[in-house]
Amino acid sequence: ARSIARPRAAPTRRNGRTRSKRPVASPRASSSSASSPPSSAAAVGARVDAYYEWSRFPGRVHYERSGDPATCKRHVLLLHGFGVGTFHYDAQLRELADDDTCVWALDYCGQGSSWPTASSADDDAVAGFQYGADTWRDQIEHFVETIVGAPDALYVAGNSLGGYLALYLAATRPDLVRGLFLLNATPFWGFNPNNPNDGSLLGKLAPWRGALPTPRWIKAPLRAYWDSFRSVENVRGLLGLVYGKAGRERLDDELVANIVAPTDNPHALDAFCSVVWSPKSALGFDEMLAAVDEETKRGRMCVAMLYGRDDPWVVPLWGQRLKRAVRAADYYELSETGHCPAHESPGTVNDITRRYLRWHSGEGDKPVVSADGFGSLIDGRARNPFEKLDEWRFARADA
């Protein structure tokens, strides 16, 4: 397999925050690869932008890597949110990798730059494939075992959907995961029941379960909505709703272009339809938390939560619930930060993550506050009336 390292422009500073001048929606480096670790023609440890093949997916899967996997002490795998890709972790790929740490970022099938190679979504090659949480979990598991190499010290970091998938992997394959970094993890995904025979009304009435090809009667009426949903104006508006004050300067044309570009893929609408209709994960979010909690109690896994305080979607109440479910989790709250902490406040996230990794490896103290003062370790207790009511209800159920 082949891969090449993509040249990187030097970052620039704006208002005291580091910002990368990354080419807007530039084509990815072309490489072909099998289900085995790709070899790089670039210098060892250089940033690699590559593709590989997963036998279950009729296309190529994209990933990036910084650092030397042959000599590092630990690996960090970054899992992105819905509708973005590895580009959302540019600051982490650039700044977290060092002699001790190798950083990886992966595009899920049907996201970022991971797409089927068939020219049409109606091609027989894609028939039967299903985009959804279970598929993505399996893809990540395969990536860790085959490309990363199932290292002894793997930490998985995930934002939004990526946090959900990071928990899913840790709950089902704890042997692969030494630690989790959860960044405003979404606590739910999908509406179709995992078991169509569960007796629920939705299970009986759901006309499709996301396996391609997309029925025309579903695809046709969604096309107009899809074109509106993926428009530059709508994407910019949605980001404006979920980004906090600290991340507003990073909400620029480059970010919007990188999000919109994959939606031009001929398979994009079908992937969107499949995601919407695919079943929930086989394991529920609360079940994932319970499994991870057991691992932390046995000292086999650490969990750090880096949650933007000003997220209007995954509000602090959800972070407090997670902290109550996984009592050993360390809860860091980031001020002036919304739904996407790693992109909005990269300096804060990178500082806490770097120091936390070293602490967990026995190389220093656990961070209590970030160097810039925007991130602090908190106890996760309820503060407003709604949170206190939720906390009270949890206490009653746990009694």
pTM: 0.89
CA dist 163 and 240 (Å) reads: 21
Q: What is the pLDDT of residues 277-302, one digit of tens each?
A: 999 999 999 999 999 999 999 999 99
Averaged pLDDT for residues 31-41: 38
Q: Which residues pair with 64 in a beta bridge?
A: 49, 105
Q: What is the pLDDT of residues 312-369, one digit of tens each?
A: 999 999 999 999 999 999 999 999 999 999 999 999 999 999 999 999 999 999 999 9
Q: Report the share of the chain in percent with pLDDT over 70.
A: 89
| Lowest model confidence (mean pLDDT) among 40-49, 50-59, 69-78, 278-287 | 40-49
Q: Which of 304, 320, 337 is nearest to 382 (CA)?
A: 320
Averaged pLDDT for residues 154-169: 98
Please report, for the chain, how many H helices and E strands are present, in that order. 13, 14
**Token pair in block for residue 136:** 């993505």
What is residue 42's predicted lDDT score, i.e. its pLDDT? 36
